[in-house]
Amino acid sequence: MITVMVAGLLACTSGRGTAQVTAPLGDLECGKATLQTSAEGQASPAPRWAEGTAVQFCTQEDGTLHGPQLERYADGSVAVQGEWRKGERAGDWTRWTSQGAFSASVTYVDGRAEGVRREVSDDGLVVELVMAKGVAVDLRTLPADTPMPEWREGVLTEGLAHAAAAPPP
């Protein structure tokens, strides 16, 4: 079994080329930056994307956010995973419900939303907004049976848990 880091999450492969991403255990790896932790309800320089979470994040010597950020619910399950670069959100940010179902995702370039942003609506459908320099330029709703990333028993997989609230066709 080979273990590697994938976007701040652990990926294990049996050597046959299939990777399984598992929930990170313990602290984030910050490299030359410093690991910071804010408990649930405690103020944090790293803004939380999910309510009621503890957050781990990395800062440079001057306090600038730089490196991975991980938010967890009280039971330890992953709430949010993302990354900071020189004080700005960068790359893919994803949020899950406390049950592990996909809630939202957005990609950041130079601190602004760019590309496809996905969010689960109140009725369980996934809405896609196409973002350009932080502004929505297109909107569409995906079919209810579109699989999205979700956590099951500590393993990141794809599924339809987000659609549980969708009305019947």
pLDDT at site 133: 86
Domain boundaries, the chain: 24-165
pLDDT value at residue 169: 61
Closest C-alpha to 82, from 97, 74, 71: 71
Which tokens in the block code for residue 144?
């209810």
Q: Where are the beta strands (DSSP E) in 14-111?
A: 19-22, 34-38, 54-59, 65-72, 78-85, 88-96, 102-109
* C-alpha to C-alpha distances, 123 to 6, 64, 87, 97, nearest whole angstrom: 31, 38, 35, 15
- The answer on pLDDT for 40 being more than 90 is no
- Confidence category of residue 103, pLDDT binned at 50, 70, 90: very high
**pTM exceeds 0.75:** yes
Over residues 115-150, the pLDDT tens digits come to 999 999 888 889 999 999 888 999 999 988 899 999
